[in-house]
């Protein structure tokens, strides 16, 4: 029989052990709670986007061109567009046909004709070769036999994509149909590779400043100031500046007479 004190303590939630045996109920052991893994939601497969059609007013990435204010002189842009369209139509070519013949995208050709893009030298060479015209025909203006003075400050240059090679016409292209005259500037360490021009084209170069290496299809030549060179330009050739200053050359390009 429990004493009063024992019962009183039992009500308080604990048990006093006496000499008599007293069985204490065993409390259940807490069960180990398992952590629930967060429910993963499978990602919805994204539908592949169809390639966006590039309209004719955009420039293809693989056919780099510069904006007029970047490199090529802005005043040449409208002239290039008018001349390109005129020569293309004279030959009865569509933009697609000229693109196929030149390797220049239809989008870029359309941009040039609209006067919205200033093409690089390499692009113009491709177009001129496809049209079977001298490079300068794309730059020609109607001189009408007048005396023309071309000031250096007003010079209009065409520059390659890297900005390391520039060509400045020194005579109006319409005045001498088979002869072109240019000032070339090559930045230090730069190389400009030129594609073959029309069959029978001859380049005559004289170096004014710096040093330049000229590579033809079979030969390599190093020029110092005052040196000149004449070579057939209807095969691949290149101009290289191994020096530490700008190299300046003067180029006379002569095209073969057509029968």
Tokens found for residue 128: 């001129």
Going by C-alpha positions, the residue among 256, 205, 214 that lies closest to residue 234 is 256
Q: 78 lies in a domain?
A: yes
Q: What percent of the chain is modeled with pLDDT above 90?
A: 31
Q: 47 lies in a domain?
A: no
Q: 121 lies in a domain?
A: yes
Q: 158 lies in a domain?
A: no
Give the pLDDT confidence score for residue 119 in this predicted structure: 81
Going by C-alpha positions, the residue among 81, 154, 95 that lies closest to residue 124 is 81
Last residue of a domain, one of 103, 129, 145: 145
- In the sheet that 220-223 helps form, which strands lie side by side, from edge to edge? 191-194, 237-240, 212-215, 220-223
- The answer to whether 255 and 188 have CB atoms below 8 angstroms apart is no
Q: 163 lies in a domain?
A: no
Last residue of a domain, one of 145, 162, 197: 145
**Does the pTM exceed 0.75?**
no
Q: How far apart are CA 215 and CA 6, in angstroms?
A: 115
Please tell me the total count of domains within the chain. Answer: 2
Q: Which of 15-29, 73-87, 210-224 has the lowest mean pLDDT?
A: 15-29
Q: 246 lies in a domain?
A: yes
Say which CATH number the domain at 196 has: 2.60.120.10
Q: What percent of the chain is modeled with pLDDT above 70?
A: 64
Give the pLDDT confidence score for residue 56 in this predicted structure: 32
200-249 pLDDT tens trace: 899 999 999 999 999 998 899 999 999 999 999 999 999 999 999 999 99
Tokens found for residue 137: 């025909």
Last residue of a domain, one of 124, 145, 166: 145
Domain of 115 in residue numbering reads as 55-145
């Amino acid at each position: 029989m429990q004493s009063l004190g024992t019962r009183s303590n039992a009500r308080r939630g604990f048990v006093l052990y006496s000499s008599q045996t007293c069985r204490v109920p065993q409390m259940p052991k807490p069960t180990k709670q398992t952590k629930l893994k967060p429910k993963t939601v499978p990602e919805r497969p994204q539908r592949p986007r169809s390639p966006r059609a590039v309209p004719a007013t955009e420039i293809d990435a693989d056919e780099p061109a510069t904006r007029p204010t970047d490199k090529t002189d802005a005043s040449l842009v409208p002239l290039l567009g008018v001349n390109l369209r005129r020569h293309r139509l004279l030959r009865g070519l569509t933009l697609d046909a000229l693109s196929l013949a030149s390797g220049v995208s239809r989008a870029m050709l359309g941009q040039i004709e609209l006067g919205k893009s200033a093409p690089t030298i390499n692009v113009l060479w491709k177009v001129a070769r496809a049209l079977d015209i001298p490079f300068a025909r794309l730059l020609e203006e109607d001189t009408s036999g007048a005396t023309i003075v071309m000031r250096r400050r007003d010079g209009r240059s065409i520059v390659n994509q890297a900005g390391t090679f520039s060509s400045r016409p020194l005579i109006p292209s319409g005045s001498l149909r088979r002869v072109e005259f240019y000032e070339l500037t090559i930045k230090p360490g730069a190389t400009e590779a030129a594609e073959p021009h029309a069959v029978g084209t001859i380049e005559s170069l004289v170096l004014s400043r710096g040093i330049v290496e000229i590579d033809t299809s079979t030969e390599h030549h190093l020029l110092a100031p005052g040196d000149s060179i004449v070579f057939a330009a209807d095969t691949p050739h290149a101009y290289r500046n191994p020096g530490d200053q700008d190299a300046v050359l003067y180029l006379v390009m002569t095209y073969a007479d057509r029968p």
